[in-house]
Amino acid sequence: MRLKPSEAQLFNRYLADQSCLESTFEFTRDGQTEVRRSYHFVFTVAELRRMLAGAGLSVAALYGGPNGEPYSMGSPWLILVAEKDR
């Protein structure tokens, strides 16, 4: 079975008032276009701490990668460990 060629385009825009990256994907095949959107929200560590505190949780650890590297500005990952407040 052979699929006909298709075209995909990606458009991004940053919604500053919502700290959100909106990604619009357009897929076209046989002259028909399908559009899908996704939203990626951006939070600082301080904002995450406040949200967790509001839910009765506190941050126990922050890691900058899956091998337990320390988290710092520019880390490729943020792995956050939270625990229920006592």
pLDDT tens-digit profile of 55-76? 999 999 999 999 999 999 999 9
- Check: CB of residue 69 under 8 Å from CB of residue 79: no
Q: What confidence category does residue 14 fall into, taking pLDDT thresholds of 50, 70 and 90?
A: very high
* Whole-structure pTM value: 0.65
What is the enclosing helix (H) or strand (E) of 62? strand 57-63
Q: Say what the pLDDT of residue 1 is.
A: 76
